[in-house]
A and B are shown apart, each in its own frame.
Chain A
Amino acid sequence: MERRRFIAFALTPSLIVLFAVAVLPAIYLIVTSLTPFQLTTPGSATDFSDPFRNYALLPGDPRFVNSLAVQAKLSVASVLFQVLLGMLLALLLNVPSRFVEFARTFFLIPMVLPPIVVAVIWKLIYAPDISPLYYAAQALHFTLPALTSSVDFALTAIIIADTWEWLPFTFLMVLAALQTIPDEYSEAALVDGASKLQIFWYVTLPFITPILVISGMFRLIDSVKAFPLIFLLTGGGPGTVTEVTNYYAYLLAFDTNEIGYSSAVTVVMLLLVCGISLGLVWMGRRKEALA
Chain B
Amino acid sequence: MKTASRASSLTRRKLLKASAATAALAAFPAPLIAQTKPFAGVTLHGASFQHRFFTLLQKYIPEFEEKTGMKVDLQLSALPVYNQQANLELSSGGSAYDFVNVTFTLATRWIAAGLLANLDEFTGDANLTPADWNPKDFVDGAQVPYRDAKGATYGYSWEGGAMLMGLSRMDLMEKKGLKIPKTFAELQQVCAEINGTDGVSGLVSWFLHNWNLPPYIQGFGGNIFRNPPGDPMPALNTPEAIQGVEFYANLLKSAPKGGLTYTEDQARQAMLTGRANIFIHSSAWVTPILLSDESKVKETSRVVRSPAGPVHDYPASNSQGLGIPKNAKNQKAAWEFIKWALSPEISMKLVKEHGHSSVCRRSIITSDDYRKLNTVNGQDLGALYLEVLELPGKGENYMAYRTSKEFPIVGDVLNKAFEQVATGQLPAKDAMNAAQDQAIAALRRAGTKL
The answer to whether the Cβ of B3 comes within 8 Å of any Cβ in the partner chain is no
Specify which of B260, B408, B420, B424 is in contact with A146 (CB 8 Å cutoff).
Answer: B260
In the complex, are the beta carbons of B113 and A42 less than 8 A apart? yes
Identify which of B16-24, B223-231, B439-447 touches chain A. Answer: B439-447
The answer to whether the Cβ of A189 comes within 8 Å of any Cβ in the partner chain is no
Specify which of A148, A150, A241, A256 is in contact with B446 (CB 8 Å cutoff).
Answer: A256
Within residues 62 to 112 of chain B, which ones have a CB less than 8 A from any CB in chain A?
80, 83-84, 87-88, 91, 109-110, 112
In the complex, are the beta carbons of B270 and A40 less than 8 A apart? no
Most A-side CB within 10 Å, residue of B84, B112, B408, B423: B423
With A62-B438, A129-B258 in contact, is A151–B424 under 8 Å at CB? yes
In the complex, are the beta carbons of A239 and B425 less than 8 A apart? yes
With A129-B258, A149-B258 in contact, is A39–B425 under 8 Å at CB? no
Q: Quick one: CB contact mask for A38-75 with B, threshold 8 Å, 1 for yes?
A: 11111010000000000001001111000000000000
Residues of A within 8 A of B270 (CB): 129
The answer to whether the Cβ of A210 comes within 8 Å of any Cβ in the partner chain is no
A36 to B443, CA, bound (A): 12
A148 to B87, CA, bound (A): 32
Residues of A within 8 A of B419 (CB): 237-239
B104 to A: closest C-beta gap in Å:
15
A145 to B256, CA, bound (A): 11
Within residues 240 to 271 of chain A, which ones have a CB less than 8 A from any CB in chain B?
240-241, 243, 251, 254-258, 261
In the complex, are the beta carbons of B425 and A151 less than 8 A apart? yes
The answer to whether the Cβ of B409 comes within 8 Å of any Cβ in the partner chain is yes
Specify which of B113, B256, B446 is in contact with A128 (CB 8 Å cutoff).
Answer: B256
Interface size on B, residues (CB 8 A): 40
The answer to whether the Cβ of B275 comes within 8 Å of any Cβ in the partner chain is yes
B contacts with A: majority SS: helix
In the complex, are the beta carbons of A238 and B91 less than 8 A apart? no
In the complex, are the beta carbons of A238 and B412 less than 8 A apart? no
Specify which of B110, B261, B441, B445 is in contact with A235 (CB 8 Å cutoff).
Answer: B261
Residues of A within 8 A of B80 (CB): 254
A108 to B84, CA, bound (A): 36
Closest to A143 in B: B257
Q: Quick one: CB contact mask for B397-420 with A, threshold 8 Å, 1 for yes?
A: 000000001001100100111011
A63 to B446, CA, bound (A): 15
Residues of B within 8 A of A126 (CB): 258
A38 to B443, CA, bound (A): 12
Specify which of A40, A238, A258 is in contact with B405 (CB 8 Å cutoff).
Answer: A40
A241 to B113, CA, bound (A): 35
A126 to B261, CA, bound (A): 11
Residues of B within 8 A of A38 (CB): 446-447
The answer to whether the Cβ of A234 comes within 8 Å of any Cβ in the partner chain is yes
With A255-B408, A256-B446 in contact, is A39–B256 under 8 Å at CB? no
The 4 closest A-B pairs by CB, nearest first: A146-B258, A239-B420, A238-B419, A128-B257
A residues apposed to B, CB below 8 Å = 36, 38-42, 44, 57, 60-63, 126-129, 145-151, 234-241, 243, 251, 254-258, 261
26 contacts between A and B (CB under 8 A): A36-B447, A38-B446, A39-B91, A40-B87, A40-B110, A41-B447, A42-B91, A42-B113, A57-B445, A61-B441, A127-B258, A129-B266, A129-B275, A145-B257, A146-B257, A146-B258, A147-B258, A148-B258, A149-B258, A151-B424, A234-B261, A235-B207, A235-B261, A237-B415, A240-B416, A258-B445
Contacts A239-B425, A254-B80 known; list 6 others, CB within 8 Å: A36-B447, A128-B258, A149-B259, A151-B425, A239-B417, A257-B446
